[in-house]
Every structure is written in C-alpha cells, then in structure tokens.
Structure 1
Amino acid sequence: MSDTPLAFFRRHPDYARYFIGMVPIQIAVQIESITVAWQVYHIARETRSIEESAFMVGMVGLCQFLPLFVLTLYAGTLADRISRKAIVIWSLVAEALGVAGLMAIALQETPSLMPIFVISGLFGAARAFLSPAASAMVPMLVSRTDMPRAISLSTTVWMVAILGGPFLGGLLIDQSIAAAYGIATVFFVFGIASLALVRARTTPERQGGNPLTQLREGLSYVWGNKVVFGAISLDLFAVLLGGATALLPAFATDILQVGSMGNALLRMGPALGGLAMSTWLAFHPIKNKAGVKMFLGVAAFGLATIVFGLSTNLWLSVAALAVLGAGDMISVNVRQTLIQIVTPDHMRGRVSAVSGLFISGSNELGEFETGVVSRFIGPVMAAVTGGIGTLMVTGIWAWAFPALRRADRLDHD
C-alpha cells in the first residue's frame, strides 16, 4: 500500500498548500450552488408551476454554460502561457465577489431572478479560466509517478466538499439565505489565502506560435488522441443526459416533500457514494482494466439515475444518488488520470480546457437540458429518460472507442 496522505503532503508541500486551499473553496462552491438552486426555485414557485420552476433552475445552468463555452478554449491557451497560480487566484477572487453580490441580493425584500442569472454568468466566466489552470497546475506540484495519488486526493477534497457543503448550506438556508452566501464568501477568502502561499513555479515553458495556433494544436491533439477524446466525450454525453441536479429542489419540495434539509440530503447523496469510492481509490488505485471499469462506472450512473427518478422514498432516493456518485467517481478518476498522464506538460492547459469545456457542458448545460425536458414531461420522466439515455451512450461509446475500452494500467505511459 502507498504512503499515508500526511507523508505525501510532506513530500509535496506546495501540493499540501493547494489541497488546504481547495477544501474551503470547494465547500463554498457547494454552498453557493445549493443556495442558488433553492432560491431560484422558490422565487419562481411563487408564481409558476412545478415544471416551470424546475425550468428556471435549469436556466442557471445555461447562464453559467454560455460564458464557459465562449471563454474556456482561450482560457486553456492562456494557462499554457502565463502563471497558472495567478489565473486560479484571480478567478477565485471573481467568484468570491459574485457570492458577495448574491448575499446583497438576498437581503432585498423582494429579490428578482435576473440579477441572479447575471451573477451566474460571472461564475461561468470565472470557472472558464479556473478549471484549465487548476487542472494543469497540479502536475507542476507533484512528481509524475505521484500523479494518480494526487488526483485521487484532489477528487476526495471535491467529494468531501459535495458532502459537507450541501449539509452546511441546508442548515444555513433554514436560518437565512444571505447567511449562506456570507459564509461561502468567508470560505473563498480563506482558500485564496492558502493558494497564495504556493511557491512552486507554475508558469509553463514558453511555446512558440500565436495563441490561435496553439489553440488549434490543442484541439487537434484531443481529436487525434482517441483515448482522450473518447474519455471526455463519454462524460459529456452521459452526464448531459443523466444529470438530475437541476431537479433536486423540485423533488425535495413537491415530490418527496422533505423541505430544505431533505434537499440537502439529496444533494449529499452523490457525495456519500463518491467520497467512499474516492477514498477507496486513494489507497487502492485502479491497477488494470481501467477502460472497462470506466464504462461500468458510467453504466452504474445511468441505472442509479433511473432508480432515483422512480423513487418516492427519501432514503431510497439518497441511496440511488450515492450509487450514482460512486459510479461517476470511477469515471472521473480514470478520465482525469488518463488525460494528465498522456498529455505533454506544455499542452496540459489547452487539453484541460477542452476537457473542462466538455465537463462544463455535461454539468451546466446538462442542468439546462434537464430543466427543458422537465418543462414538457415533468421531473420524474426527465430523470428516467435521462438515465436511459446514459445507458445508451455507454454502449455506443464502448463500441466506437475500442482503444479507450482496452485501456489497462494507469501507472504506465
């Protein structure tokens, strides 16, 4: 068995600073996310139907996706030209200001939806720069042989945040939506301060050519490498169809009728399974048949989405979401490790940008797609048909990308 996380941090002190900074930041993102969805749904529910209110929550995803779509590829090129640490910090400053703005809106007597949508667009723009820079920064903080472990630990942070953030967010929402945003702002400030202490060089070697040429090189690399392209496109279409995040306020309020804390429990469901799986993978990394295990994880994601859509019991719904999170974590671990290992350092920013664009498309655009489908067939059938779509995508991709299916070990070139 590999060394303990503490020993790993001692060998890589800058990664430890990065890790410590990302814990409160990821928690803050989860608090902000659950609070925005809850607030938007209930503002809309005052004058609209269940289906229309779920659609308005989906609009948050669209507002975040549009700037991501426009800026992410340029952001990836930038991450291959200047300090990745600087990009990460300034992106997080923008997010912190956005959350502070949401707090000000929540303090209004009759808050409206439009300012929330505008700030959601700011989040999308900030994350367009944050995602490729943060992903490409990690390999500069650890050795190549320690990359799978670093990715597992980073993913564990994400899972802890998804578990703790919604629970804390649910408690705060019960007291005050403005308080939830205020605490999230404080967490952002603490995380930014820790990341500022990273001393390692995070500026990649200067590459020749103009940014447009470099962008074209990054796209060509992703398209030509079928393992990388297959992995990130599988995530895009599987989660685009199977994502049920936008439906959680509707299920908690009108289907399961469990209130804001029930909504927090549902939001924590994927993290329960994901955290258990990421912890297991941190100590027992995938050693063989990585491609097959990735496809099985995505298939489990789809099946669990169907069960969640059909469930009328809170605990069965949470259990289904936990299985969903565990399956997704297997896919995330394999995909991120494959991409970081096979991609040259001078191209990691651009490749991470393309990967981030696909992931953002599956998350933010997936929330919008789910909201649109829910508008016409209701949240239950939107979840069920989405899960079926994910299973279909898994089968098609397993056939269309044999190189990805045959990917074996993650500790070899």
Structure 2
Amino acid sequence: MTLDQFEARAREFLESRCSRRGPVATEWGSGEERLALFHETTDEQERAEAEAALAWQRERWAAGFGWITGPVEHGGAGLSAEHDRRYREIEAEFDVPDMAPLRIGLGTVSHALLAAGTPEQIATHAVPLHRGEAVACQLFSEPEAGSDLAGVRTRGVRDGDTWRVDGQKVWTSNATFADIGLALIRTDPDAPKHRGLSMFLVPMNTPGIEVRPLRQMTGGASFCEVFLSDVRLDDALRLGEPGSGWKVATSALAGERRAVGDRSHEMNARAMALLATLAQRTGRADDPAVRDAWVSLHSRLQIARFQQQRMQATDERTLTGAERAIDKVLLAANYKLIGDLAAELLGPAFVADTGEWGTFNWNRWLMGSMGYRIAGGTEEILKTMLAERVLGLPREPQEMKR
C-alpha cells in the first residue's frame, strides 16, 4: 500500500468516528493550566482513562490501524515505520482519547516481545496489547538499581518448570490496573551482573504480588512500588534465553525512549506560547537576558525536533540505541530550561501560590522535569554511554576489583 493510499484510508477512518481537534489553547487564563509533566489524576480517573484508551485501540484494530508495523501473521498491517509515523500525525488532528495508559504496552513491552519472544508469546501477549484487550507495565527499576539497571536484585530461582521470584520494583506506571508486567530478574547471582539477568512476563494477578501507589511531591500518584513475594512464574513466561535479559531490556528501553520523545513537541509548543504571554505580562519581554534565554531555548527545541525527525526517517533496524538516548537527553534538558525560564519570569510568584492562573503551577513543570532526567534512563548514565560508545572517549574508571 502506498503512503498516499494509506493516508486516504486513515483520514476516512478518523473522519467517520471523531471530530477534529480545535487549536491548542494558549490564551492566558483559558481552561486548565495543564502544566504538570506527570499524571496528576486519581486512581479512579486513571482507570477510566485506561478504559477509554482500550476502547479506542479496539476501534483502531478493527479498522486495520491497531498495529501498523506489526507482523501480518499476527494481525498487524506489516507496513513501514513511515506509515506508522504518518498515521500518528494524522490522528493528532482529531479528538481521540489520551493513549498514555497504553504507551508502555504498545511502545515498550510489545517492542521487547517482537525482539525476543516466540511466535506463541507474541500471539498470547503482544497481540492482546494491540487489540485493546490488555494494559502492560514495566517492572525494571528497583530501590537500589535505577541508574544502574543491571544491578537489579529481584531474584528468580528455578524450580522445575517454574521460577520462584522475590524482590521489589519501583517507579512503575499502570501497576494498579495492568494485566501484564515486563520484569527484569536476576536468575544467576554468580554471573557478571549484565549476564545474570533474565526477562519475564508477569501476570499482575499472580499470587504474591502487592502494588502500592507512591505519592509524588507534586501531589499526584502516577507511580507505584511493586512487591513480589514467592511469586511463581511458569518457564513459558520467560522472554528469551536465561541470561539474555539485559539484551531484551536494551531493546525495550529503545522503544520507551522513542515513545517519550514522540509526544513532547505539542506540549513544548504550548509551553513556549504561554511563556511568551508571561513575559509580556511581567513586563520583561524586552529584557535582554530574557530574550537571550528565549532564543537559546527555541533553538534547542528546534534541534531536538530535527533530531527526532531524522530518527523517524531512519529504518529502526539500523539504529543502535544511542540515537534514542540523544532524543531523551535533549528532551529532559529542554523541559528543565522551560521551567527555569518560567521561574526567572515569575520570581517569588513561582514558589508562592496566590491562586493566579499561569503562575504557581509552573512549579509542577519544573519539579516534573527532574523526573524526566531519570525516567527512561538516568541522564548521567546515558551521557556516559554516548561519550564512550559514540564519541569514543576513554571509558569511565571502574572501581578496582578485589
């Protein structure tokens, strides 16, 4: 199918089911401020959003747009990444449900299943994600293994055809209502840390799993900690060979970083429009320091967008992972700079809540930007990886082994 034919079909589908979106609201005092970078809804609201996203995903699937790049033998359309990118561009013109609750499943877990799963695992676990029948979460980070993900301590011990799993995961989105989790587990404590890991699919209703929401400093509870106590997993839930977990995790994280970067540009454009109005309202639009910061930030946002467009035009099979790491580092830095400029313009109003629209809520943006320096790979770790593997700089000194 040519791209023109595909676009015509996509527009026909969307126009028959959805109304067109109006322009992004940037008027001062218009509607909700929407300056939180992380979800700030209640558990009930989040579940309702997930149900709406699942319903829309089922419509996508029925019309042939549920898995545009997926294998034909598993119900996918078998089309290129360019077709997928074009569909997302067209869909952004229409008023559709927020798909955030499904992004981990569609962008991370499905990516890992395609890379390392058997045909049966893909059919059993990836297809329901794209068919709008299941929600997934990612069980990677731990209290002492976030930046150093290869240091996870959650342990799996083989017992015949099953594995006994004990440990704790943290910063898990969707965990309160997810159907399946993708878990990185240490299965060989005697092997070098990158080689002693295995990846498992974890049904979240398995006995021994406890989920506790975590309250954020901005007030919401978008993340959870997950405790696994003598959780029994069938060996058929293992993704890839024992000890290949790090390779699977790398593939999954590449999908996650792509999803993070893909949805940032509209949010940044709205933020910049609001900052322009804020500069006028505070009488600092002609301040040389503010204008210099504005030009620098605008240039960085354009660079980030061009970098992502370059990646979208590149065959995914040729990417090494470093390219998506660049996307993520630029994204986190730009979020922080936007918050810094808001703080500069607002002064004390940035930290004192007077109730005025478009002032104190910028605090949520800046605090959220700190989280993005961790989510999807900690900034320092990614920069070290880029320095060593892309720029060819000397490796960071490692602690001497005894």
TM-score (norm 2): 0.36
Give the structure with the higher percent helix.
Answer: 1
Which structure's CA Rg is the greater one?
A: 2
